[in-house]
Chain A
Amino acid sequence: MILSVLSSLVLVSGLMVVRAKNPVHSVLFPILVFCDTSGLLLLLGLDFSAMIFPVVHIGAIAVSFLFVVMMFHIQIAEIHEEVLRYLPVSGIIGLIFWWEMFFILDNETIPLLPTQRNTTSLRYTVYAVKVRSWTNLETLGNLLYTYYFVWFLVPSLILLVAMIGAIVLTMHRTTHGAVKRQDVFRRNAISFRRTIMRRTTDPITR
């Protein structure tokens, strides 16, 4: 029941992102989608991913998009005259994917669909917990930091480049004096003995 509640919220919010008149609403509805996605991941039993999704997606990405939306004066009502122009092409692609979905779905789950007559549905194995069960975080860390550590280091470089790139792109060129920069040679010429003085102070009078 919780699955259907969360899924229906995701479906409605996903549609409202596209159809919302106000652009601020089209940034707020994905926040709802991310919340429900995190709930779905909890239902699947992945606790770490379900906690990371709100932190990264809502806390970082949606907040930054809210900043962007709030800064701009965006016209509220968009003219929807061109909405149906792309509907044939995207409808055909969607129908092809929907047709491929019927290879997976089965007669047992939805009895009225014209799926294949093979009555064996997908069986997934649930391995019994033998002695010690690993949490989601442990399984991730077991692989990510040992065998695939290069994969771990490269996204950190990607994030570094993204951070520097965002700052470099949006730095105002006109207000050159307002942006504080460091003079490298002056920074290197600072010596410890000239900047820090030692002075004895009387703790009672001072």
Chain B
Amino acid sequence: MMLEHVLVLSAYLFFTDIYGLITSRNMVRALMCLELILNAVNINFVTFYDLFDSRQLEGNIFSIFAIVIVAAEASIGSAIVSLIYRKKKSTCINQSTFLTK
């Protein structure tokens, strides 16, 4: 009962945020949806770790590394977004269509 709830929840979050990532015209919203995608994956890992016998596959440990990657790409993504904003003064994703503009 608990397993199915949490799995369906993580799947719903995953696909809603993939949809948000693809169809967002704002860079910050796209980055935030990316964080939520990785959060849904973390919930999935941790649920399977908790409710099944996992002597080899430690989902909780892997979710720590996933959190580390989330933090790293959040910082680098924010830096890149702020650089692009500094150059072009807008955070629209569609704005740069040429490589050298």
A residues sitting closer than 8 Å to B (CB atoms) are 3, 7, 10-11, 14-15, 17-18, 23, 26-27, 30, 33-34, 37, 40-41, 43-46, 48-49, 52-53, 56-57, 60-61, 64-65, 67-69, 71-72, 74-75, 78-79, 82-83, 85-87, 90, 93-94, 97-98, 101, 104-106, 109, 122, 124-125, 127, 136, 139-140, 143-144, 148, 151, 155, 158-159, 161-163, 165-166, 169-170
User: With a CB–CB cut-off of 8 A, which chain A residues contact B58?
Assistant: 143
User: With a CB–CB cut-off of 8 A, which chain B residues contact A33?
Assistant: 13, 36, 39
A18 touches B16 (CB 8 A): yes
Whether A26 touches B26, Cβ cut-off 8 Å, given contacts A18-B19, A33-B13, is yes
Looking at the assembled complex, report how far the CB atom of A115 sits from the nearest CB atom of chain B, in whole angstroms: 11
* Per-residue A-contact encoding for B64-88, CB less than 8 Å = 1, 0 else: 1101111111111011111101000
Looking at the assembled complex, report how far the CB atom of A195 sits from the nearest CB atom of chain B, in whole angstroms: 36
A158 touches B69 (CB 8 A): yes
B9 touches A169 (CB 8 A): no
Q: Can you name 9 A-B residue pairings with CB atoms under 8 Å? A: A10-B13, A18-B16, A26-B32, A37-B42, A49-B60, A65-B78, A72-B82, A101-B7, A159-B72
Looking at the assembled complex, report how far the CB atom of A167 sits from the nearest CB atom of chain B, in whole angstroms: 8
Per the bound structure, the CA–CA distance linking A17 and B12 in Å amounts to 13
Per the bound structure, the CA–CA distance linking A79 and B74 in Å amounts to 26
Per the bound structure, the CA–CA distance linking A60 and B59 in Å amounts to 23
Per the bound structure, the CA–CA distance linking A41 and B44 in Å amounts to 11
